[in-house]
Structure 1
Amino acid sequence: MTFPAANRTPAAEPAPEAAALPPAATTEALTAWAAEAAGGRLADCAQISGGNRCRSWAVDVETADGRQPLYLRYAPPRPPSGEPYTVRREAQVYRALDGTDVPAPRLLAEHDRHEAILTERAPGRADYRRIGPDAEKTSVAKDFVAALARLHALPGDRLAGPDVAPAGDMRACVARELEIWRGMYAETDRRDPLAELALGWLEDRLPETSGAPVFVHGDAGPGNFLFQDGRMTALLDWELAHAGDPMEDLAWYSMRSVMEPTPDFAGRLRDYAAAGGAPLDLSRILYHRVFVTTRVVIIRHRNVTGEPGASILSRALNRRLLAGALAEASGLELTPPPWIEAPDTPQTAFHDGVIDDLRARIAGRVEDAEAVSAAKNAARVLKYLREVDRLGPVVEARKRAALAALLGDAPEAVSAGEAELLALHATGRVRFAQALPYFAAAAAWDAQLAALASGGMARRGFPDLPPDLPPDLPNVL
């Protein structure tokens, strides 16, 4: 499988120089704009997230009607990209939600020059995993699925604007999203064989449904809603919203519940259906489990943002989830490879000493939250490097041996062997049911390299779906 020619710079021609980006807006200029847009004066401002992609602030503005809690979101200038998910597009999503019964913050203003928007700031917190009693987690989750049902009652063509593609039927919407994400993958001009295998599988198995699309959140689940006093207060993070298949949001919910588990996930899907949501369709949920994890794998492959430690955890987890999602959606039973046992190396004690210093002598003795976060991130990276030093040669040898069993000869490098395996699969000489077990094993071995850094996430999988949904899986054997 090769990259589309339109997404590559020909090797014989030098790449054009990137145009200079306009200067980023300052915090002072953005908060002054927010206060003016809200019709008052700035009373308080605290940055609540930051990075290469978007920055956000909790802004309080004093107005004639009292102190207004607001949310300011800004994307700094970045090079041109095939990715359509911008803050300006997100403003169109908020406009489409205005006047509906979907619990979402209201858009108050959009900057005329910068990629910045100002919305209401809903009450509550987002750390669902920190809720103690299961009963409270369940009540919040029930509110969440009821909100999804209300969202999915909105027709997909309600979401329209200059930066949003027209709806079409549901299958066309899924195909368009797939084209977008293939383009986002291709513009990296770096190969990821597992992502390519998944993209090909998704293209070959587009859901056969011509139903009308609905308004889809595009990243639904724990972490992207607020809650307070046992009730959900608002759905957040609408940047990936689009017209599409409601089963996609249930797949996102499933994926995000790996990180922040929902009690009785299958029961919550039944609650969704009882609240007036779309009829549950197992084959489409399983299809979209593949698609949503492919998206996250591509995001990590693009490496747009993220702390290195978090990226290591996300990459290992989501590649393992993707291989498992492909197997389940294809009706394949995979046997996980045995856990690798290997002795310590001369560097293991060195790594352990530095990790302990970061945990006890730095993170345990400072009060600055940013410094503690940086120390924990560095510790995750060192835990990963410790295992790469200890287990890396064994993982490399096992991958080459597994590839040799499929190709006939051991490849000079794993990357070359994986490329050859994909080429043989593309021509039909290696079946999907032969190729996937290799990629699943490789993902499991890579996950073991990150297991020490991942903690309890190292062995988590998707939550169970309702067992009474009838299977309708493709024959790939």
Structure 2
Amino acid sequence: MATATENATELGANTLSSELVDWVGDAANGTVISADRRPGGGRREAWVVEVRGADGAVRPLFLRYDRLDPEEKGDDFTLHREAAFFRALGGTAVPVPSIVGVHPVEQAILSELVPGQARFSRLHDEGQRVSVASDFMRILAEMHRVDPHRLGLPDQDPDADLRVLVHREIDTWEKVYRDSGSSDPLIDLGLDWVRSHVPDVSGPVVIVQGDTGPGNFLYENGKVTAVLDLELGHLGDPHDDLAWVSVRAVQEPFTNLVERFDDYARVAGTDVDLDRVRFYRVLAELRIVILGHRRRTEPDLLGEVGNSLVYGLLHRRLLLEALGDVVGVAIADVEPVPSVPGERDWLYGAALEQIRQIIVPRSEDPFVIQRSKGLARILKHLREAESVSAPVEQRDLDDLEAVLDYRPSSVAAGTAELVRRCLEGTVPVETAVATLLRQVAGETQALRPAMGVLADRHFDPLER
């Protein structure tokens, strides 16, 4: 059995260590002949590797890899933990990639490469879109039928009361937040709300995928071929996953959401409780914002910074909109501040045009193209922020002064005081949410050129 790569030095600019390449070869009983890093993968790297077996046949496989030590990353969502969810769902009605190997030390999962497309937004035929989306909701209902005892993780108790599990889930995410060593008033507000509004139901307890929906499954020929990304999996309420579908549908519109919930209910044999979906929508957005907070406090300079800016702000806004929905604050239009052109605008323009007309067209590596577009988003944001940041700041200070009865020294200090008073009960939560929504409108204006259509995306209606 050959185990060494034929040429470890030619595996691309983003290389895998020779030790990891050897492990891939051992796990697949062959020799690694190529490794290609692919765009996406969220917080983890995504690689397609080809392994030649003793019979000469080439076998394509998929490698999910996280270079960060779990202790350094500051959360318990390891690839080793995720592998337990894939194994629990293996052999059930839920299509998941077959695990070839899990590295005993490093955070790496090697699996079969499943055919299919991940980007639901690339599917334009409406009949095909409905077919795939309906099939996914069927599979999600089947996932919630899988015996949760199959999971076998010591921190996930399938016999616990659902309310206990939800509080434990909130504890888990609060720990991730507190371990960052810095505070965010929006997260403090969100944690306080979800703790005091956990649905008063004892079950059922199911395997929850977490972060489920368009973008986290593969499809082909009108059907789902595999469910992907179980990083945030846990035991909990099936409505948690339905809320995630609602969240991800903002990023990639997922046909008629009400009809998709009907699809789920038919297969699950139970009604969908929209109030519970609304609760878990707040919790889902809170989790995303906590992950974004961690990235801001410990930035990865080689990460997808442009995407992080866009999606970080999108989900801060969506968290506030989800909170507004449950406390009765409507989304109000906020008049944009006047944009003042800057002396350096032409430099931003030159950089953007060179990325658009020279760098991207001459790049053949999808990973390089993706990162180039991310750099363009950063430049678009910086150019617009120079033009609007000062008047937005003055408007935010005016808003805070009207609520606090004094003008704070900064927007950050005033926001912290606003939320502190809200948590102690002297400022209504509705007032805090409305004020923060106006703040995020200003932030959205500064990031709008980089956000594109996401700047105006909101949750789909949950009711007819």
TM-score by length of structure 1 reads: 0.87
| Aligned mates of 1:383, 1:171 — CA distance in 2 | 45
Q: Which residue of 1 aligns with 2:418?
A: 421
Q: Which residue of 2 aligns with 1:22?
A: none
Kindly indicate whether the alpha-carbon contact (under 8 Å) linking 1:156 and 1:242 is maintained by their aligned counterparts in 2: no
Query: CA separation of 1:179/1:335 partners in 2, compared to 1, >3 Å: closer, same or farther?
Result: same
**CA displacement at 1:258 relative to structure 2:** 0.9
SS across alignment from 1:88:
helix
Query: CA separation of 1:53/1:372 partners in 2, compared to 1, >3 Å: closer, same or farther?
Result: closer
Q: How does 1:50-61 map to 2 (within 5 A)?
A: 53-61=43-51
| Aligned mates of 2:319, 2:42 — CA distance in 1 | 26
| Aligned mates of 2:110, 2:338 — CA distance in 1 | 53
**CA displacement at 1:407 relative to structure 2:** 0.3
1:168 and 2:133 matched: no
Q: Which residue of 2 aligns with 1:192?
A: 184
Deviations 1:58-80 (A, max 9, x none): 22334478543322222224244
Q: How does 1:192-211 map to 2 (within 5 A)?
A: 192-211=184-203
**CA displacement at 1:132 relative to structure 2:** 1.7
Query: CA separation of 1:171/1:53 partners in 2, compared to 1, >3 Å: closer, same or farther?
Result: same
Kindly indicate whether the alpha-carbon contact (under 8 Å) linking 1:155 and 1:212 is maintained by their aligned counterparts in 2: no
Deviations 1:120-140 (A, max 9, x none): 221112111111211111111
SS across alignment from 1:275:
helix
Q: How does 1:370-381 map to 2 (within 5 A)?
A: 370-381=367-378
| Aligned mates of 1:454, 1:463 — CA distance in 2 | 19
| Aligned mates of 1:58, 1:116 — CA distance in 2 | 13
Instruction: Pick one of 442, 445, 461 that aligns with 1:445.
Output: 442
Q: Which residue of 1 aligns with 2:262?
A: 270
Q: Which residue of 1 aligns with 2:19?
A: 29
1:297 and 2:289 matched: yes
1:232 and 2:229 matched: no
Q: Which residue of 1 aligns with 2:333?
A: 336
| Aligned mates of 1:45, 1:459 — CA distance in 2 | 38
Instruction: Give the length in aligned residue pairs.
Output: 444
Kindly indicate whether the alpha-carbon contact (under 8 Å) linking 1:198 and 1:294 is maintained by their aligned counterparts in 2: yes
Q: Which residue of 1 aligns with 2:81?
A: 89
1:134 and 2:131 matched: no
- Which amino acid in the other structure matches residue 48 of structure 2? A
- Which amino acid in the other structure matches residue 310 of structure 1? N
**CA displacement at 1:166 relative to structure 2:** 5.6
1:314 and 2:311 matched: yes
| Aligned mates of 1:252, 1:364 — CA distance in 2 | 36
TM-score by length of structure 2 reads: 0.90
Q: Which residue of 2 aligns with 1:149?
A: 141
Kindly indicate whether the alpha-carbon contact (under 8 Å) linking 2:38 and 2:367 is maintained by their aligned counterparts in 1: no
SS across alignment from 1:142:
helix
Query: CA separation of 1:365/1:105 partners in 2, compared to 1, >3 Å: closer, same or farther?
Result: closer
Deviates more, 1:355-364 or 1:137-146: 355-364
| Aligned mates of 1:319, 1:61 — CA distance in 2 | 42
Kindly indicate whether the alpha-carbon contact (under 8 Å) linking 1:347 and 1:389 is maintained by their aligned counterparts in 2: no
Identity of aligned residues (%): 37
- Which amino acid in the other structure matches residue 222 of structure 2? G
Deviates more, 1:103-112 or 1:433-442: 103-112
Instruction: Pick one of 103, 113, 122 that aligns with 1:121.
Output: 113
| Aligned mates of 1:420, 1:338 — CA distance in 2 | 25
Query: CA separation of 1:426/1:229 partners in 2, compared to 1, >3 Å: closer, same or farther?
Result: same
Query: CA separation of 1:151/1:396 partners in 2, compared to 1, >3 Å: closer, same or farther?
Result: same
1:383 and 2:380 matched: yes
| Aligned mates of 1:217, 1:208 — CA distance in 2 | 22
- Which amino acid in the other structure matches residue 396 of structure 2? K
| Aligned mates of 1:330, 1:154 — CA distance in 2 | 34
Deviations 1:36-93 (A, max 9, x none): 2223333443222589953332223344785433222222242445511101111211
Kindly indicate whether the alpha-carbon contact (under 8 Å) linking 1:110 and 1:118 is maintained by their aligned counterparts in 2: yes
SS across alignment from 2:268:
coil
Q: Which residue of 2 aligns with 1:359?
A: 356
Query: CA separation of 1:203/1:424 partners in 2, compared to 1, >3 Å: closer, same or farther?
Result: same
| Aligned mates of 2:271, 2:206 — CA distance in 1 | 13
Kindly indicate whether the alpha-carbon contact (under 8 Å) linking 2:158 and 2:205 is maintained by their aligned counterparts in 1: no
Deviations 1:95-116 (A, max 9, x none): 2112311111122222223222
- Which amino acid in the other structure matches residue 44 of structure 2? C
Deviates more, 1:401-410 or 1:116-125: 116-125
Q: Which residue of 2 aligns with 1:14?
A: none
Q: Which residue of 2 aligns with 1:41?
A: 31
| Aligned mates of 1:268, 1:50 — CA distance in 2 | 26
**CA displacement at 1:315 relative to structure 2:** 1.6
Deviations 1:158-190 (A, max 9, x none): 322246456512221111111111111111122
| Aligned mates of 1:315, 1:293 — CA distance in 2 | 10
What is the RMSD of the two structures over their aligned residues, measured on CA atoms? 2.3
Q: Which residue of 1 aligns with 2:429?
A: 432
**CA displacement at 1:298 relative to structure 2:** 1.1
| Aligned mates of 1:220, 1:167 — CA distance in 2 | 24
Q: Which residue of 1 aligns with 2:9?
A: none
| Aligned mates of 1:108, 1:362 — CA distance in 2 | 37
Q: Which residue of 2 aligns with 1:8?
A: none
